[in-house]
Amino acid sequence: MSRQEKVTISVIKADIGSLAGHHKVHPDTILAASRVLADAKKKGTIKSFYITHAGDDLQLIMTHYKGVDNPEIHELAWKAFQEATKVAKELGLYAAGQDLLSDAFSGNIRGMGPGVAEMEFVERPSEPVVIFMADKTEPGAFNLPLFKIFADPFNTAGLVIDPRMHDGYIYEILDVYEGMVVEMKAPEEMYDILALIGTPARYIIKRIYRKSDREIAAVVSSERLSLIAGRYVGKDDPVMIVRAQSGFPAVGEILEAFSFPHLVAGWMRGSHHGPLMPVGLRDSKVTRFDGPPRVIGLGFQIKNGELIGPADLFDDPAFDETRRLAQVITDYMRRHGPFMPHRLGPEEMEYTTLPQVLEKLKTRFKPFELGYKPVVKAEGSEEVHD
């Protein structure tokens, strides 16, 4: 099949600065990025584009015929972020240029700070896709909804009813600590899949394929900023593309997975658990305690490579109760203040002050007779501390 017949959707995002703290993208930065992409459209580099924001993240949604990981497309996104950063700096926006971790573009935007989700496929006669963009959380936040959408028949009726979905799906799961990937089958290996993806900081669902024909069904951005920079630079605010209908889950089945505001890591200073609240575009700003973490969902049709839409899918009273529950959970979690499980565990606090506090107290810790020998296993070792 020639490359020409396959359309690519690239969703590339970055926090390049925000209005009044870390809560919302300034419209002028959107305009600056739009000028770059409009020019690229005129030149034929991309077929179409839509720019929006999720909280403080500038979101570039593009279609083209150049495939995934294309240097020209990545450079274009980099340029759009740079132009937007210039405006952010002129306006004195907060944390201007935050996610652009490098000064020079070197062929692939992955690993340079921005988040990337791309998929390539032969367009169906009618091709509905849903693009999810979250703020104040991490890529593993999509693990739970993706399990429900593609493996849980109590969420997705089509897994039982639609013969085209009945064989199940293949999950491609990343270990972002080790840089490893594994493919697992649902429903056959569902318990093993859950054993991994229940640790969303480390195991991230990257892609999902339909088992019967290996058609791509979903893709998630997997960049984790702290693992790139080696220090806390902000959360990783993920994006995800999901294909819908006619042998894929229906749009309603995809959205259903977000009707439960599950706890995700992120929120204030990237260091707290809070509920993921689905909102319409107008509520895509993170105010209370820099949150709570939010997700928007935009529906498009892809026709001859053009993005038709969007439909603002969570702008619907059907999600009011989810939002209300998220508010109740927000109050409940906030009352824990700096205590776990509101505050993240020590493994995830590595890039914050916690190691410095421990270092400072090192000489003040004195031996204490516990009356037993503690057996503490470091992860992946058989070591016993005594």
Q: Minimum distance from CB of 313 to Mg ion (Å)?
A: 20
**99 is an interface residue for Mg ion by CB under 5 A:** no
Is the separation of the CB atoms in 210 and 169 below 8 Å? yes
Residue among 116 and 225 whose Cβ is closer to ligand F6R: 225
CA distance 54 to 283: 9
Of 28, 167, 185, 232, catalytic: 232
**343 is an interface residue for ligand F6R by CB under 6 A:** no
Give the three-state DSSP class for 208: strand
> CB under 8 Å to 226, separation ≥6 — which residues?
232, 233, 236, 270, 350, 351
Q: Is there a catalytic annotation at residue 15?
A: yes
CB 35: neighbour CB atoms within 10 A? 12
Residue among 77 and 93 whose Cβ is closer to ligand F6R: 93
| Residue selected from 9, 19, 22, 348 as contacting Mg ion according to rule CB under 5 A | 22
Per-residue interface string for the shown chain with Mg ion, residues 116-135, x marking contact by CB under 5 A: -------------------x
Is the separation of the CB atoms in 279 and 296 below 8 Å? yes
Per-residue interface string for the shown chain with Mg ion, residues 195-234, x marking contact by CB under 5 A: ---------------------------------------x
Which partner from the list ligand F6R, Mg ion, none does 21 bind, CB cut-off 5 to 8 Å by kind? ligand F6R
Which partner from the list Mg ion, ligand F6R, none does 57 bind, CB cut-off 5 to 8 Å by kind? Mg ion
Instruction: Find tokens 């501390």 and name the residue.
Output: 385
Which partner from the list Mg ion, ligand F6R, none does 269 bind, CB cut-off 5 to 8 Å by kind? ligand F6R
Q: Is there a catalytic annotation at residue 235?
A: yes
Cis before residue 187, ω within 30 degrees of 0? Answer: yes
Residue among 127 and 138 whose Cβ is closer to Mg ion: 138
**21 is an interface residue for ligand F6R by CB under 6 A:** yes
Give the three-state DSSP class for 57: strand
Is the separation of the CB atoms in 286 and 346 below 8 Å? no
Is the separation of the CB atoms in 59 and 298 below 8 Å? no
Is the separation of the CB atoms in 171 and 184 below 8 Å? yes
End-to-end CA distance of the chain: 62
Instruction: Give the helix/strand (H/E) hosting 33.
Output: helix 27-43
Q: Tell me the backbone φ, ψ of residue 240, rounded to 5 degrees.
A: -150, 140
Of 235, 236, 285, 290, catalytic: 235
Per-residue interface string for the shown chain with ligand F6R, residues 236-275, x marking contact by CB under 6 A: --------------------------------xxx-----
Q: Which amino acid is at 370?
A: L
Q: Is there a catalytic annotation at residue 152?
A: no
Is the separation of the CB atoms in 278 and 257 below 8 Å? no
| Residue selected from 24, 224, 235, 243 as contacting ligand F6R according to rule CB under 6 A | 235
> CB under 8 Å to 314, separation ≥6 — which residues?
255, 258, 278, 279, 280, 295, 296, 297
**224 is an interface residue for ligand F6R by CB under 6 A:** no
Q: Which of residues 71-100 bind ligand F6R (CB under 6 A)?
A: 95
**172 is an interface residue for Mg ion by CB under 5 A:** no
Active site (catalytic) residues: 15, 232, 235
**Interaction site with Mg ion (CB under 5 A):** 15, 22, 56-57, 135, 234, 237
Residue ranges that bind ligand F6R, judged by CB under 6 A: 21-22, 95, 136, 234-235, 268-270, 290
